[in-house]
Structure 1
Amino acid sequence: MEKKTCIAMVPCPGQGHLIPLVEFAKTLIHQHNNLHLTLLIPTLGPPTPSIKAILNSLPPNIDFNILPHISIQDLPQNVHPAIHMKLTVTHSLPFLHEALTSLNTRTHLVALIFDVFSSDALHLANQFNILSYVFFTSGALTLSFCLSFPKLDETVSSQFIDSTKTVNVPGSIIPFQVKDLVDLVLYERSSEIYKIYLGLCQKLYFVDGIIVNSFTDMEAEAIRAVQEKTTFVDSPSVYPVGPIIGTGSTSKESQMECIQWLNNQPPKSVLYICFGSGGTITHDNLNEIAFGLELSGQKFLWVLRAPNNSASSSYLMGQMEDHLSYLPSGFLNRTKEQGLVVPSWAPQIEILSHGSTGGFLSHCGWNSTLESVVHSVPMIAWPLFAEQRMNAIVLTDVLKVAVRPKVDDQSSGIVKHEEIARVIKIIMEEEEGLQIRKRIKDLSDAAAVALSEHGSSTRALSILAHKFQNI
């Protein structure tokens, strides 16, 4: 019997990295069902119930193998989440080797697709003599910066000391201040996190291709920059296949309260507030958002997480605190007719696609950004960490589908409630907000075209699948 053509996929820890790869796998199988995919999943502790539900609902052509857990006690403590993400995969390499050996025996294994933080798996692809691809979960402009960074490090690394200096990223029509770049470059050059990020960027040049979750009409110049060989001479082929987003929660019970509440609100009247799967804000800013919501008088649905001075404090490890206790005294009573506060998590796809949702106060993570674009919801940009400041600048200054509140005190990062109320009213009420709404609707239409039968992203995916099928 002829062995089935198989592709192995290696995500890294973090829901924001696993889910896009899962959705990409589902899209690939849907369009090219003669392929077989196997997810090999490194884990830092047991998977959450929501991750289990996602994996257990995969179509027949996609298998998954949750690798033995890596103990957080075996990893450095009090470090950037990116270090834990990368080291979890590094510690899982023996288990990955074993799983790939088994797959290679049972199937016609042709390729290994891995997250950028899982790129230690590259040497396994070389060992098994199979194709290697990075699935890049951020946008094309961030990819362009990553491809640029090794040369920047060699030639002008001193500029990263002065956060007010500017850097020209290939494919961007505006320069970025150093302080707004991917936050991993802001560490000391001798630090472990800086070295890890530099190593990840260097490895991008040694894979067979890079799959980026973006589409031409959203990032035309950046995609052109990473695809053409004039700027990045030795870079691999780049396949823009986005927007790849989640299809929604698998749990009806978990979304019932939110959706029932939205069902009773007027069209486009509700501001949705969420800082992603693990972002946190300070207690001072939590209070300012609460007072800003009150002052604006706008309806809101707020996914509340316990505050923390570290913006990424709960990215890999969830919190079990009583989140509502951090709200200003009397806030819930004063706003009970105005809004709904839910702890930790809400069904974001269902909320953004709901007719009552009119705006999104977002941390500008790439997944949330794409979800907002696809569902045509204008944004208030409140970036926290990783590449989110770069995303925010593109959304506000280039695409002009978001507004950004001004920080009152740069050292503390506090945004005053009067400023929060001002940007809420812009998005939800004013003429400027209507123009933003029109622009994001046009971008949403372009996303649908990219994913259509003859769209640019569908063509890119077909080219990629053809490579797999002809090995």
Structure 2
Amino acid sequence: MDTQNPHVAILPSPGMGHITPLLEFGKRLVTLYGFHVSFFVLTTDASAAQTHLLRSANLPQGLNIIHLPPTDVSGLFPPDAAIETRMSIIVRESVPALRSALAELARPTVLVVDVFGTDTFPIADELHIPKYVFFTSTAMLLALLMYLPTLDVEVTGEYVHLQEPLQIPGCKPIQIENMVDPLQDRKNDRYGWVLHQACRYTMAQGILVNTCEDLEPITIKALKEDPILRKIPTPSIHPVGPIIQSNTPLVSGKECLTWLDRQPAESVIYVSFGSGGTLSAEQITELAWGLELSQQPFLWVVRPPSGNEKSATYFTSGGQCGHPSEYLPDGFLTRTQGIGLVVPSWGPQREILRHKATGGFLTHCGWNSTLESIVYGVPMIAWPLFAEQKLNASTLTEELKVAVRPMVLPEKEGVRREEIERVVRLVMDSEDGKALRGRVKEVSDSVLRGLDEGGSSYNSLSNVVNEWKINLQKPIGNVE
């Protein structure tokens, strides 16, 4: 390994929503700056989509995937434990394996972990290297989490019982109905784990955020300048996004693109709830009827119903899920043949969103999917399910104005077919929809300029890279 180039160790938490952006970040460090990257993957019940990603990611020379040995976490959390609890414990129990793996490599220049990876910080301290967090969601969520230890002390009772919006210094107030899931029940283990991670963000030398100045100017300014947040203390903030999935060989899903090739421009509503989102049987039925009633061409990535668990496939996305005829309304596939295409479990989202036939996206508002939709100029129907998705939906509809939201919030009660028909028609076949499409394309142009040389995100990442290069020249033990 060339010791003149920085060597970055990257550890994502389990799940496609974390692995994908950190892998793309690693690829960017290698291809743009000549860094070496060791990309560590925690061994869990890996999904088919994750396996596909890691095998077909067109990895540049200098980026090495290292699979850490499996860690026995049986008995450490119940089967129904929340995602935040599971991920935090998996990372914590993998610390010895990561320490051993790093000991076999040349000393890294820096350690980068994501939002659930702060229990690895002592390893960086042992190696006398700086530690950074790559924040895979919005600056708004980061501001909330940076302020969470203060809220935990100052607020009595549940946040969801507050009569007024939650006030974060320098930021737009958070409406209680948009409160992120882990903060809705302070007695649940997931709240304790999120608080645990948030308390440790202050230990990082910096936080890279997968957003940009043009998407969240007010919040980014607050994180960098608000006197209350600066006293926490908030580490240096580096908006480096949008970092989305880049070109990968298409080994499946070609039938989707062939079907899209036959559709008129901007005529198809794409429906997908991300790598982990699932719906109840009743909601799947209503969604099917709503799409049929809208009479709009649709491409629907569908999974079997999951009862009330909205993130049932988070760790197993892309697996086998049976034939859709088993859980879609009787005759639906026959009646919509030629109008819609139903794809079981997984579809090539990047290729679908960038296709000229795609004119709208009914989405769960996961941040990776949101960024992809913005980059490719596709307006959205916001249908949040879990985690911070309600907060994202609020940003998309109220601030960026690139999405619409059903009048009945999906996370509170089921959305009926008539409302689904209405919002699909609004986005796909109305003057308001045309205005929405024009707005998202303006935002797309703006964020893409930020990634170009001299743009805000380009400069932000370049500043971090220069810090790491300087750190490479310092004696071991001298980390600022």
SS in 2 for 1:276: coil
CA contact (8 A) 1:449 1:455 kept: yes
Task: Measure, in 2, the Cα distance between the counterparts of 1:108 and 1:249.
Answer: 30
Partner of 1:468: 468
Partner of 1:192: 189
Work out whether 1:15 is the aligned partner of 2:16.
yes
Partner of 1:81: 83
Task: Measure, in 1, the Cα distance between the counterparts of 2:380 and 2:53.
Answer: 29
Work out whether 1:144 is the aligned partner of 2:143.
yes
Amino acid at match of 1:272: Y
Partner of 2:276: 278
**What is the aligned length?**
463
Percent of aligned positions with the same letter in both sequences? 41
Task: Measure, in 1, the Cα distance between the counterparts of 2:286 and 2:397.
Answer: 22
CA contact (8 A) 1:208 1:237 kept: yes
SS in 2 for 1:64: strand
Partner of 1:290: 288
Q: For residues 369-397 of structure 1, what are the alpha-carbon distances to aligned partners after superposition, in whole Å with 9 as ceiling and x for unaligned? A: 00000000000000000000000011111
Task: Measure, in 2, the Cα distance between the counterparts of 1:167 and 1:53.
Answer: 38
Q: Give the drift of 1:191.
A: 2.8
Task: Measure, in 2, the Cα distance between the counterparts of 1:215 and 1:238.
Answer: 11
Task: Measure, in 2, the Cα distance between the counterparts of 1:410 and 1:38.
Answer: 39
Partner of 1:265: 263
Q: 1:162 to 1:126 in 2, by over 3 A?
A: same
CA contact (8 A) 1:90 1:120 kept: yes
Q: 1:212 to 1:294 in 2, by over 3 A?
A: same
SS in 2 for 1:116: coil
SS in 1 for 2:80: coil
Task: Measure, in 2, the Cα distance between the counterparts of 1:147 and 1:114.
Answer: 16
Amino acid at match of 2:65: F
Partner of 1:422: 422
Work out whether 1:454 is the aligned partner of 2:451.
no
Q: Give the drift of 1:164.
A: 5.8
The root-mean-square deviation of aligned C-alpha atoms, in Å, is 1.8
Work out whether 1:228 is the aligned partner of 2:216.
no
Amino acid at match of 2:203: F
Matches for 1:31-70 after TM superposition, within 5 Å: 31-33=32-34, 35-46=35-46, 48=48, 50-55=50-55, 57-70=58-71
Task: Measure, in 1, the Cα distance between the counterparts of 2:122 and 2:272.
Answer: 38
Partner of 2:431: 431
Question: Could you tell me the TM-score, scaled by structure 2's length?
Answer: 0.93
Q: For residues 282-334 of structure 1, what are the alpha-carbon distances to aligned partners after superposition, in whole Å with 9 as ceiling and x for unaligned? A: 11111111110111100000000111111011111345332501100000000
CA contact (8 A) 2:21 2:244 kept: yes
CA contact (8 A) 1:6 1:111 kept: yes
CA contact (8 A) 1:25 1:62 kept: yes
Task: Measure, in 2, the Cα distance between the counterparts of 1:383 and 1:323.
Answer: 25
CA contact (8 A) 1:141 1:171 kept: no
CA contact (8 A) 1:168 1:176 kept: yes
Q: For residues 45-82 of structure 1, what are the alpha-carbon distances to aligned partners after superposition, in whole Å with 9 as ceiling and x for unaligned? A: 35646535535631111112100123463441211012
Partner of 2:113: 114
CA contact (8 A) 1:45 1:70 kept: no
Q: 1:71 to 1:266 in 2, by over 3 A?
A: farther
Q: More deviation in 1-10 or 153-162?
A: 1-10
Q: 1:170 to 1:399 in 2, by over 3 A?
A: farther
Amino acid at match of 1:204: Y
Q: For residues 2-54 of structure 1, what are the alpha-carbon distances to aligned partners after superposition, in whole Å with 9 as ceiling and x for unaligned? A: 62531101111001100100001111222211x21101221213564653553
Q: For residues 177-196 of structure 1, what are the alpha-carbon distances to aligned partners after superposition, in whole Å with 9 as ceiling and x for unaligned? A: 33312110112x33321111
SS in 2 for 1:303: strand
Q: Give the drift of 1:166.
A: 1.6
Gaps of 5+ in 1: none
Q: Give the drift of 1:165.
A: 4.1
Task: Measure, in 1, the Cα distance between the counterparts of 2:191 and 2:411.
Answer: 24
Task: Measure, in 1, the Cα distance between the counterparts of 2:50 and 2:2.
Answer: 36
Q: 1:249 to 1:2 in 2, by over 3 A?
A: closer
Q: For residues 190-234 of structure 1, what are the alpha-carbon distances to aligned partners after superposition, in whole Å with 9 as ceiling and x for unaligned? A: 332111111111111111000000010111111111112513121
Partner of 2:303: 305
Q: 1:53 to 1:159 in 2, by over 3 A?
A: closer
CA contact (8 A) 2:9 2:112 kept: yes
Task: Measure, in 2, the Cα distance between the counterparts of 1:341 and 1:293.
Answer: 11
CA contact (8 A) 1:55 1:64 kept: no
Matches for 1:98-177 after TM superposition, within 5 Å: 98-103=100-105, 107-162=106-161, 165-173=164-172, 175-177=173-175
Work out whether 1:387 is the aligned partner of 2:388.
yes
Q: For residues 397-445 of structure 1, what are the alpha-carbon distances to aligned partners after superposition, in whole Å with 9 as ceiling and x for unaligned? A: 111110011228986x110100001011110011111111111111000
Gaps of 5+ in 2: 472-480
Q: Give the drift of 1:257.
A: 0.4
Task: Measure, in 2, the Cα distance between the counterparts of 1:338 and 1:69.
Answer: 45
Task: Measure, in 2, the Cα distance between the counterparts of 1:164 and 1:357.
Answer: 41
CA contact (8 A) 2:46 2:316 kept: no
Q: 1:229 to 1:61 in 2, by over 3 A?
A: farther
Task: Measure, in 2, the Cα distance between the counterparts of 1:203 and 1:256.
Answer: 44
Matches for 1:368-387 after TM superposition, within 5 Å: 368-387=369-388
CA contact (8 A) 2:170 2:226 kept: no
Task: Measure, in 1, the Cα distance between the counterparts of 2:46 and 2:411.
Answer: 39
CA contact (8 A) 2:138 2:209 kept: yes
Q: 1:2 to 1:269 in 2, by over 3 A?
A: closer
SS in 2 for 1:166: coil
CA contact (8 A) 1:111 1:133 kept: yes
Q: 1:350 to 1:163 in 2, by over 3 A?
A: farther
Work out whether 1:321 is the aligned partner of 2:291.
no
Q: 1:439 to 1:172 in 2, by over 3 A?
A: farther
Task: Measure, in 2, the Cα distance between the counterparts of 1:145 and 1:313.
Answer: 26
Question: Could you tell me the TM-score, scaled by structure 1's length?
Answer: 0.94
